Structure 1
Amino acid sequence: MSDERPRPQFGAYSSPEEQRARSGQDVPKRVLDPALVPRDMPPEDAAAPKRPGQYEQVSQATVVDRVITVALMAFGLYSVLGALRSYTDPYALLDAIGMSDVELTDPAGLRVAGIVSIVVMLIGWGGTVWILWRRHARRKTMWWIAVIAGIVFTIVGALIVAVPFAMDPAVLQKFAELQGIELP
């Protein structure tokens, strides 16, 4: 007959004192006299605070991300400011699409729509800069936010101008005429 004992699990056969010693509960904490600790020694438990003028190392990927993001945002601002003339002057927009012989029925309304479009795109640009600044502070990638915001706000701004422009009766008549369709 063999003496088969079950295998011990989790220190089942050790005394309570041995269990406490192995778990680190009876280990005395090291107490230091504050007078013996040098003033320039970093704290043991916390990360050392940064001194003024001390910077973290910046990786090459972070630098590339910043450069691409700044370039995208500069291109976005250039595009919005470039759209200022064509969005706020409906006749310049007609010239750009090759319909200079059309007389608009409500050019003032289209001008207001263009101004609203530019304001929406500028607010979107400013909001994107704010979001990017916050992500930059947390050291996260930013370029994809600039791309998505550029696409979204360009589409929204173009729709704000395009819908009233396409709904103008003179423009509708010209589109129908170019397609060979007779409107009633």
Structure 2
Amino acid sequence: MSGAADAGPDPRSRPRPQYGEYATPEEQRARIQEPAPWHVPPAAPVMTDAPAGSIPSAPVVAEKRHRPVDRIITFALLAYGLVNVITSIPAFLDYGTYAETMLGLMGVDAELSDPAAGRPWAVAAVLVLAIGWCLTAALSVWSMRRSRISWWIPLVGGIVFSLTAGLLMVAPLMNDPAVWQGLLDSARL
């Protein structure tokens, strides 16, 4: 009988592992000097020009992109919105004059039965405009600091909060029976 050395490898034993087969992904990256995907900086690194054969220096992280046109448009829309809010406050708080103007534009010959009932609605509309502008400005600045396109934020904020304030201002007109009677009378003509 021949010895155990002549029989060859034991078929029940595992084959010898290849290089790096049991290494964890972190150990493999450390050996090949590749950063883990969750450790890569968000901006693409910019390599400096180095002569061939030299060891490159550490990568320099690219600066955030600034969009000057986007900033100008965003601040212009915010300024326009601020002027709109400031000029709307006195017009909204004088609800009797506002109601007369609106009824005149609609071609309705009527007066509010209780003009003082519109004052709380006017105050609510002013608050919606003011708070809406503040939220829009804060969101716009936050977005610009993260180098995101931001011009659309004041535009959407202006539309949403102006429509909401407008609905609040029209609510007392639509709840007044004298206005409805004037609307019916003008429709018959």
Q: Considering the TM-score relative to the shorter chain, is it more than 0.5? A: yes
Give every structure 1 segment of 4 or more consecutive aligned residues whose post-TM-superposition deviation is greater than 3 Å.
Answer: 14-17, 23-28, 44-48, 56-59, 99-103
Is 1:123 aligned with 2:131?
Answer: yes
Bigger shift: residues 156-165 or 97-106: 97-106
Task: List runs of 5+ in structure 2 lacking aligned partners.
Answer: 1-16, 34-56
Identity of aligned residues (%): 29
Summarize the Cα distance change of 1:122–1:24 in structure 2 as closer, same or farther, 3 Å threshold: closer
RMSD of the alignment, in Å? 3.4
Task: List runs of 5+ in structure 1 lacking aligned partners.
Answer: 1-13, 29-43, 49-55
Summarize the Cα distance change of 1:178–1:25 in structure 2 as closer, same or farther, 3 Å threshold: closer
Summarize the Cα distance change of 1:46–1:151 in structure 2 as closer, same or farther, 3 Å threshold: same
Counterpart CA distance in 2 for 1:24 and 1:57 is 28
Counterpart CA distance in 2 for 1:68 and 1:137 is 15
SS of 1:123's equivalent?
helix
| Correspondent of 1:143 among 126, 151, 164 | 151
SS of 1:16's equivalent?
coil
1:15-30 aligned at under 5 Å gives the runs 16=19
SS of 2:174's equivalent?
helix
Give me the TM-score of the superposition, normalised by structure 2. 0.63
Name the count of aligned residue pairs.
144
Summarize the Cα distance change of 1:115–1:15 in structure 2 as closer, same or farther, 3 Å threshold: closer
Counterpart CA distance in 1 for 2:179 and 2:147 is 49
Give me the TM-score of the superposition, normalised by structure 1. 0.64
Bigger shift: residues 109-118 or 172-181: 172-181
Counterpart CA distance in 2 for 1:111 and 1:133 is 33
Displacement after TM superposition at 1:82 (Å): 2.1
SS of 1:141's equivalent?
coil
Bigger shift: residues 115-124 or 83-92: 83-92
- Contact conserved, 1:117 with 1:157, CA < 8 A, in 2? yes
